[in-house]
Chains A and B, each alone.
Chain A
Amino acid sequence: MKKPLIIIKDVRKEFIVEKKPNVVALNGVNLEIEKNEFVCVVGPSGCGKTTLLNIIAGLETFDSGSVTMHGEDIIGPGPERGVIFQQYALFPWMTVRKNIEYGLKFITKADGSRYTKEEKRALAEHYIKMVNLTGFEDSYPKALSGGMKQRVAIARGYALNSEVLLMDEPFGALDAQTRAQLQEDLLRTWESEKKTIFFITHDVDEAVLLSSRVVIMSARPGQIKEIVPVDLPYPRTQATKMESEFIKIKNYIWDTVYKMYLEIPK
């Protein structure tokens, strides 16, 4: 059998906070992500989802265990693992267009050449259109609403066309219509371009609609509680949400997450 693309083995991460007890953000986390898989992660706030994503991105160190991609240790960030950040991380001194074009300057194409100015512009144009921001190309981030900033961050992440896409609640700040549209766009992109996606969300509906497996995490210390396979055929659309199998899986995950919520000592 083929080896999984990303293997997370027994990872532990403790944050040392001065003058306070240490926070064990992750403990004994094991997860294997296959090539071209779409994995969603749900779990209560503070359970370590972002920490896990940062570790895969190579932006955070960990205390023990191992994280590999293509069998090699992940030792730092790289353009083959694109990240869409929870806090957008847009460069405030760049326009929407410049924000999207910026990452492209580091990419070497298959033929060894770099993107030309025109190619960068065309790519930016394409993704700006995809996230419905036409007309805002030359705006600075400060002039955009939270949802619009999030869409710029999404366009920027997509434009890089990375092998693995790590997305941290990317649709969290969007209205229901935009969210539905972007969910479908993401599904189409994933089906046609066969990327590997690691997607954090608070929305169980979204997790079941998008992913082939839902990872449920629990808090204190952050652990993987359960991994639920979603055996619904692709291509999926918003109509998939009506199917009885979808509702069954969704309710099951809801129950698990909600029980965990009740168990949190308050």
Chain B
Amino acid sequence: MAEQKKSARKLKDFSDGSARMRYTLMTVSIIGGFFFWYLITLIPTINTFLASPKQVLRALISESKAGGRYWKDISISLQRVLIGFGLAFVASIPVAFLMGWYPKVRNLIEPWIQFMRTIPPIALIPLVILAMGLGEPPKYTIIFIATFLVMVVTIYQGVKEVDKTLIKAAYTFGAKDRDLFIDIIIPASFPFILVGARLGMASALTTLIAAELTGTIFGLGARIQGAQQFMDTAIVLLGIITIGVIGFILDKILLFIEKNLTKWK
């Protein structure tokens, strides 16, 4: 009788795979992407509107030299993002908790939040500039509005969806409302606060660039806008990549905090 070969059927694997495989593929993907970029910019018609990796590298070197404005643009943009985001983060937590905890507050505030959420914050720029002029405050304000709405909605959902049996359990122990809030509601919504922060950060960056397209000299958005007028696509690309890298790093930092603060999840 022929020997029957039996091996366990391999089931679809939904994990991220081993770290080695992950990093190998990531490296391959990045190098491949750069190579593809390099190849298409060899075509002259494409090179007129898309600078090559070499040109961008050259732009990076000259811009980041002393006298270049690269670092100044980065620090100004970062400052705007962090201030707008920071203020919104601090403000959104109490508002979200009040909405989750008191139905009256929720019913008063929710229609406005839902309404504002559908408006792209960029549409508010003209009004904000008229009200606050051209300095830094209008940028903080736009970022604040955008990130505040995202974070309030996310955190409030978390507060609302705290498992009701956990609340019941705490009450049977003799917990008062204050204990319930501090011991149960806050830790249970913690993951949502961190998710809200990540969504808020992403939205802060998007909004920042839009906000910088008007009425400012420094900042990555303004730099991109300025370079466009001189058809300097190397600078435009340098700006875009820089924004991407900043977003990536900020997100990784928040992800790291999330992993460490919610080990129980």
Contacts and interface: CB of A to CB of B under 8 A. Distances in A.
Contact of B165 (A76, A87, A106, A107): A87
B22 interface: no
B265 A142 contact: yes
Contact of A59 (B163, B172, B188, B263): B172
B68 interface: no
Given A102-B173, A106-B174, A89 B264 contact: no
Contact of A83 (B169, B183, B184, B263): B169
A79 B174 contact: yes
A91 B166 contact: yes
B165 A89 contact: yes
Contacts of A141: 264
Contacts of A78: 172, 174
Contacts of B183: 102
Interface size on B, as a range, is: 20 to 34
Nearest to B169: A89
B188 A82 contact: no
Interface of A: 54, 57-59, 76-79, 81-83, 85, 87, 89, 91-94, 102-103, 106-107, 140-142, 160
Interface of B: 163, 165-166, 168-169, 171-175, 179, 183-184, 187-188, 190, 262-265
Given A103-B173, A103-B174, 19 more contacts: A58-B172, A59-B171, A59-B172, A77-B171, A77-B172, A78-B172, A78-B174, A83-B172, A85-B168, A89-B163, A89-B165, A91-B166, A91-B169, A93-B187, A93-B188, A94-B264, A106-B179, A107-B174, A142-B264
7 contacts: A59-B168, A81-B172, A89-B165, A89-B168, A91-B166, A93-B188, A106-B179
Q: Can you list the 8 inter-chain pairs with the closest CB atoms, starting with the nearest?
A: A106-B174, A103-B173, A79-B174, A89-B169, A140-B264, A89-B165, A77-B171, A77-B172
